[in-house]
């Protein structure tokens, strides 16, 4: 199989879909890997390293996508953006983050162009775990308190609150909505920065786990509308970390509630890729990451892990490579038949939507997965 690795073009996206180790693994299985020139530069990987692992370096995105044919499988990090749509075509398998529930236009393009699109974020194990979302959720969770702490500084328009406080002065109050992977990692970093941390979730088992994990130093609170409102109003920093696999994130912090928050408070929405869990969330970029709502600052960068590509590249490749090898060795259809977890990642094929949660979010009826695979 011929596998293409184009350079990411989303704003300030420095990650790359594969490391030289991944290239070596695929070529050892007899596949051809072509990498767009400079694709790894943002992650400090030189073209020579890819070539040394067995890849062919190609001059531009058209060659990496196989716009004239010749590429069977494209591996990316982020969803295709408008300037890449014309390169998508029938017969191509695309393996990347897609987040279609919050992107009607991309959904329409994939369907119209009859692309077989498999989304990292909806590959799901029988346990319910999301193995390809997990590493980037870890990274985004760890980043959220860092960017929140920066936005809290007065020079950035924040309240001028130090996360850890000092002697005889209260610590910053950090409220994290959602105690999943990103929420737990956010709690860990915020706690390490000395903040007063509260996790809010409907899942009592997750809250009990955090009780033992953090030796009761992180407050766990069962979510309800009133409890969430009280915590948000008292917070200096709110981190939204709610995820419904494949579906649009629920809106849990209203505009009216933000209007009652402390002036200079900060809200970081990790769930922005799925539409966000704050009413006023809209995607931002690393070059222009924040905006004001009432007297609060919103940080809603849609590719947060792109800020730390040297960490993210390895974490992502470690998780995706077994699935990428299966797709290359077997082809998408047999690979999905053999592994139901991977099959759940199939979002579009031959002009059909194949994920029910995405279909509900975008208002398109989804085909039955078994029929598509059959």
Q: How far is CA 222 from the centre of its chain?
A: 25
Half-sphere exposure of 27 (CA within 13 A, CB side): 19
24 as an active site residue: the answer is no
List, in sequence order, every residue forming a beta bridge with 117; answer none if it has no partner. Answer: 94, 348
Sign, CA torsion 343/348/352/357 = positive
Catalytically annotated residue among 31, 72, 99, 280: 99
Give yes or no for a contact between 186 and 235, defined as CB atoms under 8 angstroms apart: no
**What's the longest Cα–Cα distance across the chain?**
67
Distances (CA, A) of 13 to 1, 66, 122, 193, 201: 27, 22, 21, 27, 31
- Give me the torsion for CA of 240, 244, 247, 250, rounded to 10°: -50
Nearest CA-CA partner of 206 in 172, 241, 231: 241
99 an active-site residue?
yes
Exactly one of 103, 196, 269, 273 is catalytic; which is it? 273
Backbone angle region of 373, left / alpha / beta, with phi > 0 → left and psi within -120 to 50 → alpha: alpha
Q: Which H or E element spans position 173?
A: strand 173-177
Rounded CA gap, 281 and 159, in Å? 20
What are phi and psi for residue 324, nearest 5 degrees?
-65, -40
Residue count of the chain, please give it: 374
Can you tell me the distance from the alpha carbon of 194 to that of 196, in angstroms, rounded to the nearest whole number? Answer: 7
Q: Going by DSSP bridges, is the β-strand pair 196-201/116-119 parallel, antiparallel, or unpaired?
A: unpaired
Which residues form the catalytic set? 99, 273
């Amino acid at each position: 199989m011929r596998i293409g690795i184009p350079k990411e073009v989303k704003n300030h996206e420095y990650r790359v879909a594969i490391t030289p180790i991944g290239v070596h693994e695929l070529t050892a299985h007899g596949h051809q890997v072509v990498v767009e020139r400079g694709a790894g530069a943002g992650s400090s990987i030189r073209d020579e390293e890819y070539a040394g692992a067995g890849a062919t370096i190609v001059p531009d995105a058209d060659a990496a996508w196989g716009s004239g044919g010749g590429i069977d499988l494209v591996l990316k990090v982020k969803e295709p953006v408008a300037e890449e749509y014309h390169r998508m075509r029938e017969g191509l398998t695309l393996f990347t983050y897609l987040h279609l529930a919050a992107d009607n236009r991309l959904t329409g393009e994939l369907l119209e162009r009859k692309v077989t699109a498999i989304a990292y974020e909806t590959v799901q194990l029988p346990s319910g775990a999301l193995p390809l979302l997990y590493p980037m959720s870890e990274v985004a969770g760890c980043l959220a308190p860092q960017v929140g702490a920066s936005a809290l500084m007065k020079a950035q328009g924040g309240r001028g609150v130090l996360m850890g406080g000092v002697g005889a002065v209260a610590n910053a109050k950090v409220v994290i909505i959602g105690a999943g992977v990103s929420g737990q990692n956010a709690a860990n970093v915020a706690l390490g920065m000395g903040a007063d941390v509260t996790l809010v979730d409907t899942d009592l088992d997750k809250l009990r786990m955090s009780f033992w994990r953090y030796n009761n130093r992180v407050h766990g609170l069962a979510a309800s509308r009133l409890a969430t409102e009280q915590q948000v109003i008292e917070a200096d920093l709110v981190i939204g970390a709610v995820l419904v696999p494949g579906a649009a994130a629920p809106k849990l912090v209203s505009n009216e509630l933000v209007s009652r928050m402390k002036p200079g408070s900060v809200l970081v929405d990790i769930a922005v890729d799925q539409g966000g869990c704050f009413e006023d969330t809209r995607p931002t970029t690393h070059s222009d990451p924040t905006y004001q709502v009432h007297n609060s600052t919103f940080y809603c960068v849609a590719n947060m892990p792109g800020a730390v590509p040297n960490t993210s590249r390895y974490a992502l490749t470690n998780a995706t490579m077994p699935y990428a090898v299966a797709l290359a060795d077997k082809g998408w259809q047999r690979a999905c038949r053999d592994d139901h977890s991977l099959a759940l990642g199939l979002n579009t094929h031959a002009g059909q939507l194949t994920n029910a949660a995405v279909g509900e979010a975008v208002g398109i009826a989804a085909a039955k997965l078994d029929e598509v695979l059959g």
